[in-house]
Amino acid sequence: MVSEGIFGARHRALTIGIITLCSLVAFEYIAVATAMPAVAKALDGLELYALSFGGSLAAGVVGMVVAGQWSDRKGPAGPIWWGVGAFVAGLAVAGLAPEMWVVVVGRVVQGFGGGLIGVALYVVVAGAYPAELHPRVFAAFAGAWTIPSMVGPALAGLIVQVAHWRWVFLAVAIVAVPAALLMRSGLRGLPPAADGAAKRSRTALALGAAVSVCVLYIGGQQRGALALGLIALALAGLAVFAPRLLPRRTLRAGRGLPSVVLLRGFVGAAYLQADVFLPLLLQQQRGLSALQSGFALTAGALAWVTGSWWQGRHGKGLTNTQRLAGGSIMIALGVGATLFCVVPVLPVGATVAVAVGGMLVGGLGMGVAYPVMSTVTLELSPPEDRGVNSSALQLSESLFTTTVLALGGSLFALLSATSMPLAFLAVFAIGELLAVLAIAVAFRTRPAAPSPSRAAEPPVPVAA
């Protein structure tokens, strides 16, 4: 029985610190997308616009891998402090940049820091909180990401209009320091990392995957033969490097941890397809304003928080596999609803109702499943592998969402020249396919019962 919650006297400062830090990383990720057009215009750097996003994302992949290995060898305190330092320094460089290329440099440093922080926080949760509180902590993490998704764009736009685009970067840097200091006592009290055998460095693999991600991101912004060439090159690189950063048998949906990691990539990419293209459909094809089309995304974000709260407080009556399967089914239903929004004869009011309803159901499914995947990953990881497996979980989502968005964006650009409804139908169908596959994968997240001859086998390792 849990004696106190995550905001009890023992955990209060650490909980507030990690949630605030997680919220700031989320806000920066979302708000910069709103502010970057103003940045590119002010600094005459439109040609570096795509790289300002791709560079940050690629650096984050490297940060995730480094943090996983570092946390397993020395504990999470080092990656946290260095991650906060890089995150703040990158924001300061971008906020004070005199030219666009300096913004890109700042974004790369900041992305690396964000990757360090994201993975190390998972290891902090494993060491600082009892297992019974893990679902509640990860539910709070989900809220820390979804709430900024609701207010981030509007707040960033207000900052750009009222103050200056530089404060989108600088304000987050200022707040991040005291948030990190709240974690100081909690980090000191963590047990030392397990002193296992040294793992082979995966930094070179991470760099290869990061470059591939960056090329894929840039390729998705291009057109014609150049786009196809860059995307093909990037996919070849990902095929070589990415599987070796994930647990063995991940791409074959091996039972237990490999399927948990694969599920994270599938549901993240499926939901993001709807999240990215649905507002575009509502504005371009149904004539809604940006504010009106945002209601669907707000509904999804609120449902995500609600689902996270429910599974953390009342989901104990279901097994982890049941919650993951139930969440995946809701995601498939929600993403599937976007297919009906493409139908031209559907009245505008009905289209909006279907869009909001779909995002509500899909967001609820994400809220139920998302924190459980984090909890199960820690449950299936021995102490010496918590960092590297948490890294793999987040890498899966990052790599899948980037790949699917880039490919979906290129397909959308190709088809939109002849038929906009067909273009939207194609990208939503990709998301629905992934969501349906996620249902099957969810039932494989429970580890197979070991036979007597295999009872002594170690847990599935991450590929070296």
pLDDT band at 457 (very low <50, low <70, confident <90, very high): very low
**How does DSSP classify residue 462?**
B
User: For the residues of 375-404, what is the DSSP string, one character each?
Assistant: HHHHHTS-GGGHHHHHHHHHHHHHHHHHHH
CATH 1.10.8.420 correct for 11-186: no
**pLDDT tens digits, one per residue of 61-97:** 888 888 877 887 778 888 889 999 999 999 999 999 9
Instruction: Determine whether 175 is exposed, middle or buried from the number of CB atoms within 10 Å of its CB (0-12, 13-18, 19+).
Output: middle
Here the tokens at position 85 are 């330092």
**pLDDT tens digits, one per residue of 298-315:** 788 788 888 888 877 777
Q: CA–CA distance from 279 to each of 290, 294, 355, 424 (Å)?
A: 7, 7, 9, 11
Rounded CA-CA distance 358/267 in Å is: 15
- pLDDT value for 146: 67
Here the tokens at position 348 are 């505008």
Contact status, residue 192 vs residue 62, Cβ threshold 8 Å? no
Nearest Cα residue to 55 out of 292, 289, 242, 221: 221
- pLDDT value for 412: 81
Q: CA–CA distance from 86 to each of 71, 127, 213, 285, 419 (Å)?
A: 17, 24, 21, 42, 45
- pLDDT value for 459: 46
pLDDT band at 454 (very low <50, low <70, confident <90, very high): very low
Contact status, residue 269 vs residue 332, Cβ threshold 8 Å? no
**pLDDT tens digits, one per residue of 383-434:** 777 777 887 888 888 888 877 877 777 788 778 778 888 988 998 999 999 9
The residue ranges of every structural domain in the chain are: 11-186, 249-446
Find the DSSP H helices in 75-99. Answer: 77-95
Dihedral in degrees, nearest 10, Cα atoms 404, 373, 300, 61: -40
> Which among 11-20, 210-219, 327-336 has the top mean pLDDT?
327-336
- Written in H, E and C, the secondary structure of 414-457 is HHHCCCHHHHHHHHHHHHHHHHHHHHHHHCCCCCCCCCCCCCCC
- pLDDT value for 196: 45
Say if residue 453's pLDDT is above 60.
Answer: no
Say if residue 54's pLDDT is above 90.
Answer: no
pLDDT band at 361 (very low <50, low <70, confident <90, very high): very high
Rounded CA-CA distance 81/65 in Å is: 16
Nearest Cα residue to 33 out of 107, 96, 88: 107
- pLDDT value for 27: 79
Say if residue 448's pLDDT is above 80.
Answer: no
Domains 11-186 and 249-446 belong to one CATH topology: yes
Say if residue 117's pLDDT is above 50.
Answer: yes
CATH 2.60.40.10 correct for 249-446: no
**pLDDT tens digits, one per residue of 162-221:** 788 898 888 888 888 887 887 777 777 665 555 444 455 677 888 888 888 778 767 766
